[in-house]
Chains A and B, each alone.
Chain A
Amino acid sequence: KAGVTQTPRYLIKTRGQQVTLSCSPISGHRSVSWYQQTPGQGLQFLFEYFSETQRNKGNFPGRFSGRQFSNSRSEMNVSTLELGDSALYLCASSPNRGGNTEAFFGQGTRLTVV
């Protein structure tokens, strides 16, 4: 069974631009969560999608948005990029929702804003 696939792996953007990151969950998994990882803050929850609906949102500005498609693939978008958005963006795939559900992480997308 293929794992969680995130594309692209690396991305360099300039301030003010926008970016779209993609996450393909494990086949059969319906939940996708997104996390931002920076050296200073560690892993921070961005949002969770299940059945094409956003179920939870972390404390990030409205420039961060996402969506989920009917095949459970998810995208996240960051508009008006700032230098502080440079980070490793990870998505996690789970079969369902709930505290006992295992989460499988992708390799991440390394975003650098210059």
Chain B
Amino acid sequence: KNQVEQSPQSLIILEGKNCTLQCNYTVSPFSNLRWYKQDTGRGPVSLTIMTFSENTKSNGRYTATLDADTKQSSLHITASQLSDSASYICVVSPPYGGATNKLIFGTGTLLAVQP
């Protein structure tokens, strides 16, 4: 079983609509939780980074939330654009103070925004 699971696996929405992607994790403790956007055939690009003590972090039309009690995070995309079509990956970083850069990746949600 993956330590970081995401839902839905894929999603199709119309341009201009909002959507929310979910991430459930079992990794505990951890240093921070990140959301990455990955365009097809390219490397992931960081959207947000939240420490375990933060509840929300925004980056333009992207807003991530974190509930450490339920071990859930969500990524909300507002007023979607065609360029938002990509895979969105939830990533958990090793515990604070741990000397490692070994990231734990979620399964990803493939988002398609249609005109």
Contact = CB atoms under 8 A, between A and B. Distances in A.
B12 interface: no
Interface stretch (A13-21, A71-79, A104-112): A104-112
Q: Is the interface of B mostly helix, strand, loop or mixed?
A: loop
A70 interface: no
Interface of B: 30-32, 36, 41-46, 49, 51, 89, 93-108
Contact of A94 (B42, B97, B101): B101
A44 B99 CA distance: 19
A70 B32 CA distance: 30
A68 interface: no
Contacts of A44: 105
B98 A98 contact: yes
Given A42-B107, A45-B103, A99 B44 contact: no
* Size bracket, chain A contacts: 20 to 34
A9 to B, nearest CB: 9
Contacts, number: 79
B51 A100 contact: yes
Interface of A: 4, 31, 33, 35, 42-45, 48, 50, 55-56, 58, 88, 90, 92, 94, 97-108, 110
A108 B108 CA distance: 17
Nearest to B98: A99
A102 to B, nearest CB: 7
Contact of B43 (A55, A94, A106): A106
A33 B101 contact: yes
Contacts of A107: 41-43
Given A99-B30, A99-B93, A100-B51, A31 B44 contact: no
Contacts of A99: 30-32, 93-98, 100
A60 B94 CA distance: 20
